[in-house]
Amino acid sequence: MSTLLLLLTGPLQAWGDSSRFAQRTTNREPTKSGVIGLVAAAQGRRRTDSLEDLLMLRFGVRVDAPGEIMRDFQTARQVDGKSLPLTYRYYLSDATFVAGLEGPEELLTALDGHLRSPEFPLYLGRRSCPPSRPVALGVSDMSLEEALRAERWRASEVQQKRTRAREVKLRMVLDAEPGFDGITQRDVPVSFDPEHRQYAWRTVTDAEPVTVINRHGRDDYHDPMAELGG
């Protein structure tokens, strides 16, 4: 098996695994449905097209810069002038992730090519969230976890300086192997068809964090939240 790596970074991202008209939330890290949707858009797939080959890919993500949750609200009116309820939308601001898809090398190489020259515009969870850097990082001959551990730290210089600590531990979330316990999320996109959207469940697990050295950090920096598990 090989692994396709993607760089997901931009001013705003939004990765929700549940959505209502009045409130659109976001997860702290990219969802499988969001990344599969991004790859499908790069290929030029329509929302009614099958996703079967993409759903077989094992997914994982490394949090290189967690960003901050921000909230926006919007107002709208119907054609007759009647006001609609306020809608609240949550975003991740200034975050950076490295995501991986593990599967057959031939398929992943083709996907990498599409990401470098996409058929449809790419966005980070919502159309209002374009990436600020090229998404494609290439195909590795390593397994998903190995590739995510080997990839260099992709946080920007500003994000690294903001981190302040000399030694940084990057959270890593992976699709759980069969038979392993974890947390369930309903973000496997069986169908993006707007007439009949379908999502299935998957189990995710936190792997051992990836430790990187921050050349902009300080050896004597003390994080008061570390003692609280924050």
User: Is 82 a member of any domain?
Assistant: no
User: Is 8 a member of any domain?
Assistant: yes
User: Is 86 a member of any domain?
Assistant: no
User: Is 215 a member of any domain?
Assistant: yes
* pTM (2 d.p.): 0.90
Q: How far is CA 53 from the centre of its chain?
A: 19
Asked if the model's pLDDT at residue 73 lies above 90, the reply is no
- Work out the pLDDT band at 161, boundaries 50, 70, 90: very high
How high is the pLDDT of residue 80? Answer: 78
CATH number at residue 135: 3.30.70.2660
Domain hosting residue 59, numbered range: 2-18+27-69+92-228
Tokens read off for 136: 């494609």
Number of domains the chain contains: 1
pLDDT one-digit tens code per residue, 114-129:
999 999 999 999 999 9
Closest residue by Cα to residue 59 from 118, 145, 153:
145
Closest residue by Cα to residue 168 from 210, 140, 139, 229:
210
How high is the pLDDT of residue 230? Answer: 45
User: Is 34 a member of any domain?
Assistant: yes
How big is the CA angle at 102 (ends 101 and 104), to the nearest 5 degrees?
Answer: 120
> DSSP secondary structure string, 13-70?
E---SSB-SSEE---SS--HHHHHHHHHHHHT--TTS--HHHHTSEEEEEEEE--EEE
How big is the CA angle at 14 (ends 173 and 71), to the nearest 5 degrees?
Answer: 120
Distance CA 164, CA 66 (A): 14
Residue of 1 and 168 predicted with greater confidence: 168
How high is the pLDDT of residue 224? Answer: 61
User: Is 177 a member of any domain?
Assistant: yes
User: For 89-102, what is the mean pLDDT?
Assistant: 96
User: Is 36 a member of any domain?
Assistant: yes
Residue of 87 and 225 predicted with greater confidence: 87
What is the DSSP-derived secondary structure letter of residue 214?
-
pLDDT one-digit tens code per residue, 7-45:
999 999 999 876 665 778 899 999 999 999 999 999 999
What is the DSSP-derived secondary structure letter of residue 167?
E
